[in-house]
A and B are shown apart, each in its own frame.
Chain A
């Protein structure tokens, strides 16, 4: 099965939203890393840390408002993580999964703030006015493939660490390639070959996980940005009043949809990482029991 994708020049077909983050100072050199998405990532970092600091300052058994809100989120997330990966792994995996959810959610929703993606540099149409912000000042990090790939790779590294810590290198190899079912003789050999092949497929699927995770997140948020821009610009040719009204009214329903998409993507990313951790850290107790029975 081949995967059809948009080819040729990969030019944006929907709106004037660039598919890549724009450098703020220099396209080359030391400051090239500072893009509009890096700037928003720093803002998100600041917001998250400010709120975490506010929530954990002067903590008491009777929580204050910020503490109560943060505790509600953490308790809910921790409960979900425990349900998926189990109580033992949850203690180790929760810092990653909790960070993933909070960071992605705040990043996604940050992109919905007025001015994000619309204030920037472009073809001038007058004083402090551009036709379209081709290089916006702010861009949500999750609409930048560098950020989503970085997050996915970080999650992959933590997954690898937790897996090796729990089952060991040999345990991971056995878990991936080892035959299940306890069959002996010729059938056992055939099954072993089948499981060897399945293991190879499993390795490919593991390696490709960061790619799928990052592209899924990037694609959804980037598509959302495009939708909002298209809806905002739809009435541009109908005069200034209609253009203003259209830019306010038409994207409004899609803002609610994007709020939902932002939450959903944070949940999907976190949930998939949880499932990956659960799959690789679960001991094959049934197999051991069978082996025990043979002994």
Chain B
């Protein structure tokens, strides 16, 4: 037999429903109390710590990611700085090499000039020495030649030449030799 809900309510069959499904305040409150015990204990001792732990882990992951991002940024910055330092070092090295090259060229030129000057000096000294030696030889030659002329003259003329004669002969002979 099928009856409508309002009809049941109107006919006072709520009591029948209550009886049929065993609805009773003590049983109802017992179930409510059990549910509230589960609710209270889970809320305080399970959901709180678990959600706290999840939040802590989430925070830790976020911190880790932030640190990773910072480390990546720092690494990029360090790489950039290192590259800048390398570039600067390369530029300095190139400049130093260039300066050293220029210095070595200048030194080489100076040394060359010194060597040329030294050679010229040696040559000049050698020339002077040769000239001096030549002059000495010439004067020795003149003297010897004068003596030989005087000796020859004295032998030819049989005259003993005095010092003036000898000086005059030497002078003339030297003039002849020089010419």
Contact = CB atoms under 8 A, between A and B. Distances in A.
A2 B8 CA distance: 11
B8 A150 contact: no
B58 to A, nearest CB: 10
Given A45-B34, A59-B53, A141-B31, A7 B8 contact: yes
B17 interface: yes
Contacts of A32: 24, 26-27
Contacts, number: 154
B50 interface: yes
A20 B27 CA distance: 11
Interface stretch (A95-103, A111-119, A196-204, A232-240): A95-103
Interface string A20-62: 1100000000001111011001101100110011011001010
Interface string A139-170: 00100111101110110000000000000000
Nearest to B53: A59
Contact of B38 (A33, A53, A99, A144): A99
A71 B51 CA distance: 8
B31 A78 contact: no
Nearest to A104: B35
A71 B57 CA distance: 11
B4 A41 contact: no
A4 B22 contact: no
B8 A74 contact: no
B54 interface: yes
Nearest to B43: A95
Contacts of A14: none
A49 B50 contact: no
Interface string B97-120: 000000000000000000000000
B156 interface: no
A127 interface: no
Interface string B30-60: 1110111111011101110111011011001
A78 B52 CA distance: 12
Contacts of B179: none
B148 interface: no
Interface residues of A, number: 55
A153 B146 CA distance: 161
A2 B4 contact: yes
A45 B47 CA distance: 15
Given A21-B22, A71-B54, A53 B28 contact: no
A269 interface: no
A136 to B, nearest CB: 13
B4 A33 contact: no
B175 interface: no
Contacts of B54: 71, 74-75, 78
B116 to A, nearest CB: 85
Contacts of B38: 44-45, 48-49, 99, 102-103
A69 to B, nearest CB: 11
Contact of B3 (A4, A38, A149): A4
A6 interface: yes
Contacts of B56: 61
A19 B20 contact: yes
Contacts of A71: 50, 53-54
Interface of A: 2-10, 19-21, 32-35, 37-38, 41-42, 44-45, 48-49, 52-53, 55-56, 59, 61, 63, 67, 70-71, 74-75, 78, 94-96, 98-99, 102-103, 141, 144-147, 149-151, 153-154, 218
25 contacts: A5-B3, A5-B8, A7-B13, A8-B1, A19-B20, A20-B21, A33-B27, A34-B30, A37-B31, A38-B30, A49-B41, A53-B45, A56-B49, A56-B50, A61-B56, A61-B57, A67-B53, A74-B46, A99-B39, A145-B21, A145-B23, A146-B24, A146-B27, A150-B29, A154-B36
